[in-house]
Amino acid sequence: MATPTPDATPGFWLRDALDPEGHTVAGFVPAGYPFYARILNPVGVEGFGSEPRRLAWSEAAASVGAPVYPWMQWHETVLAADGALPREWTSPAMGDLDQVRARALAEVLEQHTRTPEECFFAQWDGYAPVTGNNGVVTFPPDREMKILAGPLSDGAQPTGNSGTPVNSGMEHPSGAHGGRRPLYWWPQDRAWCMGQDIYARSVLLGVSGPCLKDLFAHPDLDIFSVRLSDAVYPEDD
């Protein structure tokens, strides 16, 4: 299980590698990777007497005539629907990676690191469930992050008290019932890196070519290629 790390040293590399302005992809994942990608959280589809289903955000957008492109925004989907957005839809989770996407991402990423059992995670200090004797590092844009360590599989689980993963079962797509998943993941060998902001409905990755190919091939990932210099905007609208 991921455990709090009183020594914040593992987070220094990432802090120092990120663009301090925090306005582009380089503010969330470091330069130096061959490829970069954005993975979108899904739209929740609520039903009576049943658990929420998931609809790929890109599919939802296309169905209402909204633009589908690497930096699509949720408000564009809402506006395109012109008041006719299906009532059972819920907006993509913000500041957390959907549980199905998280598990799919972990499945792929563990095949592209030599250290899947030795990974680090960073969670925003403002998320109440993360407590304990953690090292704290400030990431752009001025976010105090607590550092956790453990196998990659722990990144796909919401963090509970003391920063350790909790078994929340089937949740709302946000995963909020048992806390939130770490905002940043990276392995000891730094073969790839994932990051997002508390106001993001998607995650950003720096990866190798083979890893990118496998990410695109996974049926549970709604993914687009992006550039390190692309602007990143808050998605809390």
What band does 85 get if pLDDT is binned at 50, 70 and 90? confident
Three-point CA angle 183, 60, 124, nearest 5° = 10
Q: What is the pLDDT of residue 87?
A: 85
Looking at this protein, which amino acid is placed at residue 81?
A
Of 190 and 2, more confident: 190
Q: What is the pLDDT of residue 7?
A: 84
Q: What is the pLDDT of residue 48?
A: 57
pLDDT score of 171 more than 50: no
What band does 50 get if pLDDT is binned at 50, 70 and 90? low
pLDDT score of 46 more than 60: yes
Exposed (0-12), middle (13-18) or buried (19+): which is 114, by Cβ within 10 Å?
Answer: exposed
Sign of the CA dihedral with 138 first, then 142, 148, and 154 last? negative
pTM of the model: 0.89
DSSP per residue, 112-137: G-S-TTSEEEEEETTSTT--SS--EE
Q: What is the pLDDT of residue 175?
A: 40
pLDDT score of 115 more than 90: yes
Using DSSP's 3-state secondary structure scheme, residue 215 falls into helix
Percent of all residues in the chain with a pLDDT value above 70, rounded to a whole number: 86
186 forms beta bridges with 120
What band does 134 get if pLDDT is binned at 50, 70 and 90? low
Q: pLDDT tens for residues 209-228?
A: 999 999 999 999 999 999 99
What band does 125 get if pLDDT is binned at 50, 70 and 90? confident
What band does 13 get if pLDDT is binned at 50, 70 and 90? very high
